[in-house]
């Protein structure tokens, strides 16, 4: 929970509109992923169910973030002043605590690797994800003491780098058995994952770059929201393409 700065009407509207856009994207993706399950083989349906859960959970949390943001401000004399009600940042971190492990499960599920290989990889990835988010949360509330923010951010980056390593190197060796098409799609997915997940630590870093606290508050909300749309909706769509390609290959594509 932060001490909120006053916002210009344009700054307030930007956050308001981006949060609203995110709710719409998550809601639409939820319906899409649920329907898309019928278009892939039975083996790959759990992956799409996980995609739907991710955006469903995020949709709910964005409603709460939106409400919390709206009630944290009151318009007075053309500027948005803190209403005295706190803006609850915890929704975002609770959301990540649930959705980041699910995104990892989604990826491993669509690959349909040997059970013990998937299980071992997921245990490592999920423990690292929980540490990354937990450590980041402690620093996130800190908008004035940049040393504190930097320390927690650095600690959180250690498990983050480990996750990227596991996905890039370990998963890389596992997917050698997949077909050419699937490997191509996986390469794109991996790049998308690293590119979108990379936006989070950059966004976290913004308040440390000497920008004013108003811009920091706006940039954090906009950065995280857009990253969430790419990392949950966009990435889910790629998982769907992989599931389609794999169903086609193993002849399990449902005939409409």
Ligand X SMILES: *C/C=C(C)/C=C/C=C(C)/C=C/C1=C(C)CCCC1(C)C
Q: Which of 6/162 has CB closer to ligand X?
A: 162
Write the binding mask 51 to 90 for ligand X: x where contact by CB under 6 A, - elsewhere.
----------------------------------------
Query: Considering the rule CB under 6 A, would residue 136 count as an interface residue with ligand X?
Result: yes
Helices 235-249 and 180-197, axial angle in degrees (round to 10)? 170
Are 239 and 106 in contact by the 8 Å Cβ rule? The answer is: yes
Note whether 97 binds ligand X by CB under 6 A.
Answer: no
156 part of the interface to ligand X, by CB under 6 A:
yes
Size of the site for ligand X (CB under 6 A): 18
Q: Which stretch binds ligand X (CB under 6 A): 12-20, 42-50, 93-101, 215-223?
A: 93-101
From candidates 197, 236, 244, 247, binder to ligand X by CB under 6 A: 197
What's the min distance (Å) between Cβ of 117 and ligand X? 23
Task: Tell me the DSSP string of 69-89.
Answer: HHHHEEEETTEEEE-SSPP-T
Query: How far, in Å, CA of 47 to CA of 21, rounded?
Result: 25
Question: What is the rounded distance in angstroms from the CA atom of residue 161 to the CA atom of residue 156?
Answer: 9
Task: Tell me the C-alpha distance between 196 and 234, whole Å.
Answer: 10
Q: Which residues pair with 74 in a beta bridge?
A: 81
Q: Residue 239, SS3? A: helix
Nearest approach in angstroms of CB 183 to ligand X is: 23
Phi and psi of 7, rounded to 5°?
Answer: -120, 145
Q: What is the DSSP letter of 8?
A: E
In the bound state with ligand X, the residue whose beta carbon lies nearer, of 24 and 114, is: 24
Q: How near is the Cβ of 202 to ligand X at its closest, in Å?
A: 9
> Rounded to whole angstroms, how far apart are CA atoms 237 and 65?
24
DSSP string, 157-193: HHHHHHHHHIIIIIHHHHGGGS-HHHHHHHHHHHHHH
Question: Which range binds ligand X by CB under 6 A, 43-51, 72-80, 132-140, 207-215?
Answer: 132-140
Q: Which stretch binds ligand X (CB under 6 A): 10-18, 28-36, 60-68, 227-235?
A: 227-235
Among 65, 228, 233, 238, binds ligand X (CB under 6 A): 228
Q: Does 132 bind ligand X (CB under 6 A)?
A: yes
Interface stretch with ligand X, choices 20-28, 62-70, 171-179, 225-233 (CB under 6 A) = 225-233
Q: What is the binding site for ligand X (CB under 6 A)?
A: 96, 99-100, 103, 132-133, 136, 153, 156-157, 160, 197, 200-201, 204, 228, 231-232
């Amino acid at each position: 929970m932060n001490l909120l700065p006053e916002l210009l009407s344009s700054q307030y509207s930007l956050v308001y509109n981006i949060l609203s856009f995110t709710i719409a994207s998550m809601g639409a993706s939820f319906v899409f992923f649920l329907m898309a399950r019928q278009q892939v083989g039975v083996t790959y349906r759990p992956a799409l169910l996980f995609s739907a859960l991710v955006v469903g959970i995020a949709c709910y949390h964005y409603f709460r973030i939106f409400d919390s943001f709206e009630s944290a401000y009151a318009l007075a004399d053309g500027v948005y002043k803190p209403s005295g009600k706190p803006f609850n940042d915890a929704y975002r971190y609770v959301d990540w605590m649930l959705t980041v492990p699910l995104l990892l499960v989604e990826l491993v599920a669509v690959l349909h690797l040997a059970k013990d290989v998937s299980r071992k990889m997921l245990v490592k990835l999920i423990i690292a994800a929980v540490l990354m988010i937990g450590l980041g949360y402690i620093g996130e509330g800190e908008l004035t003491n940049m040393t504190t923010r930097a320390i927690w951010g650095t600690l959180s980056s250690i498990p983050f780098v480990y996750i990227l390593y596991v996905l890039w190197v370990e998963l890389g060796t596992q997917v050698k058995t997949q077909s050419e098409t699937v490997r191509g799609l996986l390469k794109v997915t991996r790049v998308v994952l690293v590119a979108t997940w990379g936006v989070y630590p950059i966004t976290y870093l913004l308040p440390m770059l000497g920008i004013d606290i108003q811009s920091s508050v706006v940039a954090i909300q906009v950065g995280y929201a857009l990253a969430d749309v790419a990392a949950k909706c966009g990435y889910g769509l790629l998982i769907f393409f992989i599931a389609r390609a794999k169903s086609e290959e193993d002849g399990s594509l449902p005939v409409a």
